[in-house]
Structure 1
Amino acid sequence: MPGADGQFTLDLAVARGAQRIAGVDEAGRGPLAGPVVVAAVVFGPGRTPVNGLNDSKQLNARRRETLYERIVERALAWHVVAVEVEEIDRINIFQATMLGMRRAVEGVLHVAELARIDGNALPHGLPCPAEAWIGGDARDRAIMAASILAKVSRDRMMVALHEQWPQYGFADHKGYSTPAHLSALTAHGPCPHHRRSFAPVRAASAVSAPG
């Protein structure tokens, strides 16, 4: 049951007995451009297992794409949320990630008994009992699956942005602060999909602004 502030507290009995656990993870907290993407995945009893799951960072792109298709086919429920640059800049990247996690959990609430979130913090206002797992993307299959959905979804978004803004090389670095990206940012200034609340983007904005 939720407390007075609307926040659920973890019922250990629920945690021990839960079979429909929503694993939650994000991709894209660190980049200078593009959304932060959060996924929630629920595997239920009796579903065909997905073999080969791992932290998305430990898998190559081809393997992630293969597992993505298996996850969305075999999961009891899944939901992917993108929190766009405007919201990141307005509330900061940490709060935007927490917001995305809450929205992702809400998308699987019809089946989830418990949310298990990668990291050491729980979003405020979660609609079900939840626990934070540090290093969860290497320990829990549902979190691993969520990390794969989030990573593949975000990479696809960045490839699509590359079609519109090829000068930045988004298809290659996915918005992270590589030397090539920083060089392009200096040369061209930021595009509408750059996070202006991030210091390198602010610096490039100052350089590219008319004097």
Structure 2
Amino acid sequence: MAATRPSLRIARALLREGYLTLACADEAGRGALGGPATVGMVVVTLETGTAPTGVRDSKLLTPEHRQRLAPKVRRWAAAHAVGHASAAEVDEFGILPALRLAGHRAMAGLGVRPDLVLLDGNHDYLSPPEQASLLGEPPGLLADPPPVRTLVKADLRCAATAAASILAKTERDALMVELARQHPGYGWEVNKGYAAPDHLAALRLHGPCVEHRRSWSLPGVVAPADGATALESPS
């Protein structure tokens, strides 16, 4: 059975609770071994019309289709932005605080403070925790972020969240293509930093570069006792 086309039904129901602006958010690059963690946001209001034809969760679209849809999404949305947290920031703060930083950077770029954020998934990584993580909270977070609602599979059900996923994915993919030029040999122009066979083979051969998440258990790489990263010795 074909997947149900996402709509604005959920977004409009939330807006009718009394919110004037709703930012729908999705992330890209959470599980990658290298490159940034990225959060895209799309703002809608009760006046926002039907999403452009073809908008779906970015994972269901080809790269070419995403590229064609991205400018249509930007024209359609009441506001939009994408934020990134670097691999170094993922290493310094951890993946969830890094996603929080990327999300706050996206919110800061919207040009409007949303009254509510709808976040894909079941975990609110945008709201600072009551107790900061052992690694500490990254600087630059918004002082008064809006409230957040989470929704599992929002990118499949809500057109604005699907649109946010398209913006996050296309912008991060473009960054990874540029990083592939700066750090050739890892196949990032194709695998976008994820654990594809060619990427794993390159890690074992060349070791990590500065754009890898060195705090992670990178395949073929071990962290010596002094904390430095080294290639795993062949057995």
User: Normalising by structure 2, what TM-score?
Assistant: 0.77
Distance 2:14 2:192 in 1: 41
Question: Which stretch shifts more, 49-58 or 187-196?
Answer: 49-58
1:74 match: 76
2:162 match: 144
Return 5+ residue gaps in structure 2 as ranges.
1-12, 129-143, 224-228
Q: Is the 8 A contact 2:15 2:45 kept in 1?
A: no
Q: Is the 8 A contact 2:85 2:98 kept in 1?
A: yes
Equivalent residues, number: 198
Distance 2:156 2:166 in 1: 12
Distance 2:39 2:20 in 1: 22
Q: Is the 8 A contact 1:188 1:208 kept in 2?
A: no
SS at match of 1:132: strand
After the TM superposition, which residues 1-211 of structure 1 pair with which residues of structure 2 at under 5 Å, given as runs? 16-49=17-50, 50-108=52-110, 110=112, 112-122=114-124, 123-125=126-128, 127-200=145-218, 202-203=221-222, 205-207=229-231
Q: Is the 8 A contact 2:127 2:148 kept in 1?
A: no
Distance 2:42 2:18 in 1: 18
Q: Deviations over 1:93-150 (max 9, x none)?
A: 1221122223323333625221101111222246212201111111111111111000
- Displacement, 1:164? 1.4
Distance 2:57 2:14 in 1: 28
The change in CA–CA distance for 1:118 and 1:89 in structure 2 (over 3 A counts) is same
Distance 1:161 1:70 in 2: 26
Q: Deviations over 1:39-64 (max 9, x none)?
A: 11112344453222111000111110
Question: Which stretch shifts more, 32-41 or 18-27?
Answer: 18-27
* RMSD of aligned alpha carbons: 2.3
1:156 partner amino acid: A
Moved over 6 A (4+): 12-15
Q: Is the 8 A contact 2:79 2:111 kept in 1?
A: no
Question: Which stretch shifts more, 85-94 or 117-126?
Answer: 117-126
Percentage of matched positions with identical amino acids = 38
Question: Which stretch shifts more, 45-54 or 193-202?
Answer: 45-54
Q: Is the 8 A contact 2:25 2:164 kept in 1?
A: yes
Q: Is the 8 A contact 2:15 2:21 kept in 1?
A: no
- Structure number having the greater helix percentage: 1
1:203 partner amino acid: V
Distance 1:145 1:63 in 2: 12
SS at match of 1:191: coil
